């Protein structure tokens, strides 16, 4: 086992799969962007290795690929991508979700890939990634959707944030700043059906009030955002989850918050974060918000 560097690293869960390789690429870019070391973790109770790419690279049948092979190959790939990157590796004899959630206590950022079934890796979010995103103590990036396997300068030049708590907005701002891209802050709103009216002089008034409240929330959330990043504000009528998934098609990264409540042991994601994790067309960051 390699020594753990003093700085809190970027941690990535690797398993030798194609989604895992993409997550490793993304994590190595994130580590370089932050000037941090990269820690690659393989949980040995993960499912038996079933891929072909890594086995071909190693010149072994898939059945002979070991945990050490997987984590060392991931580390070599990261160093080939960034020769000056400091890396550490570990093989953990534990279920992956528990291992990665524990790792998140001493990480700056946690990165995972998708783990779909029956060839649907890009359409389904695996239970490991879902559990980690719902319990991690640090921000978690789930690398999914259509992207070019790099965090440094995506093809869309845009980070999107669903505006909620300040921690989420500031995380999105820093991600946009590091990449040198624009930040789009979105606040969705809806007018409940029971607030509508048929009176011609009052028609549309409830909707205008909700729209104005969304503008005020957006302005308040962004009032202390430092200069230096091109920032666009947008309020949209519709379900927040649907609006953010739509925005993800033209984004390099989608940032949303998830409330963490002390003493609550269930999945702590919320409907919005849960929905975008399953449907986003780009990588998603879940930022824990303490309540």
| Inter-residue contact 169 to 261 (CB < 8 Å) | no
Q: What is the mean pLDDT of the chain?
A: 81
Least confident interval from 60-64, 234-238, 246-250? 60-64
Enter the tokens of residue 214: 């969304």
In this predicted model, what pLDDT tens digit does every residue of 103-115 receive, in sequence order?
999 999 999 988 6
| Residue 259 to residues 69, 161, 230, 256, Cα–Cα distance (Å) | 37, 15, 27, 10
Sheet holding 87-92, edge to edge: 87-92, 38-43, 10-13, 109-113, 140-143, 284-290, 253-260, 158-162, 182-189, 231-237
In this predicted model, what pLDDT tens digit does every residue of 18-40 receive, in sequence order?
888 889 999 999 999 999 999 99
Distance CA 129, CA 149 (A): 18
Of residues 181 and 3, more confidently modeled: 181
The answer to whether residue 264 scores a pLDDT higher than 80 is no
Distance CA 143, CA 112 (A): 6
Burial class (CB in 10 A: 0-12, 13-18, 19+), 259: middle
In this predicted model, what pLDDT tens digit does every residue of 70-83 receive, in sequence order?
888 889 999 999 99
In this predicted model, what pLDDT tens digit does every residue of 216-242 receive, in sequence order?
888 888 887 888 889 999 988 889 999
269's CB contacts (< 8 A; 6+ apart) are 130, 133, 134, 258, 277, 286
pLDDT of residue 83: 96
Enter the tokens of residue 207: 């909707």
pLDDT of residue 84: 96
With pLDDT > 90 as the criterion, what percentage of the chain qualifies?
A: 42
pLDDT of residue 1: 47
Of residues 220 and 203, more confidently modeled: 220
Counts for the chain of helices (H) and strands (E), in that order:
9, 10
**C-alpha 222: how far from its chain's center?**
21
């Amino acid at each position: 086992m390699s020594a753990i560097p003093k700085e809190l690293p970027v941690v990535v869960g690797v398993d030798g799969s194609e989604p895992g390789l993409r997550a490793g690429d993304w994590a190595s870019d994130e580590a370089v962007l932050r000037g941090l070391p990269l820690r690659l973790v393989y949980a040995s109770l993960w499912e038996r290795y079933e891929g072909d790419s890594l086995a071909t690279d190693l010149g072994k049948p898939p059945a002979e690929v070991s945990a050490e092979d997987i984590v060392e190959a991931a580390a070599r790939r990261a160093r080939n991508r960034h020769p000056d990157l400091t890396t550490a590796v570990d093989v953990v004899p534990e279920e992956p979700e528990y291992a990665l959630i524990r790792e998140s206590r001493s990480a700056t950022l946690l990165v995972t890939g998708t783990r779909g079934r029956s060839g649907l890796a890009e359409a389904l979010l695996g239970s490991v990634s879902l559990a980690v995103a719902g319990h991690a103590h640090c921000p978690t990036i789930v690398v999914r959707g259509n992207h070019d396997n790099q965090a440094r300068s995506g093809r869309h030049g845009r980070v999107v944030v669903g505006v909620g708590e300040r921690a989420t907005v500031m995380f999105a701002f820093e991600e946009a700043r590091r990449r040198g891209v624009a930040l789009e802050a979105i606040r969705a709103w809806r007018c409940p059906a029971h607030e509508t009216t048929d009176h011609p002089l009052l028609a549309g008034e409830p909707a205008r009030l909700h729209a104005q409240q969304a503008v005020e929330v957006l302005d308040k959330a962004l009032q202390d955002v430092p200069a230096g990043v091109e920032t666009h504000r947008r309020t949209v009528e519709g379900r927040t989850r649907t609006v953010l998934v739509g925005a993800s098609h033209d984004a390099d990264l989608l940032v949303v918050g998830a409330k963490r409540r002390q003493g609550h042991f269930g999945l702590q994601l919320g409907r919005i974060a849960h929905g975008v994790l399953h449907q986003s067309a780009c990588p998603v960051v879940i930022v824990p918000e303490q309540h």
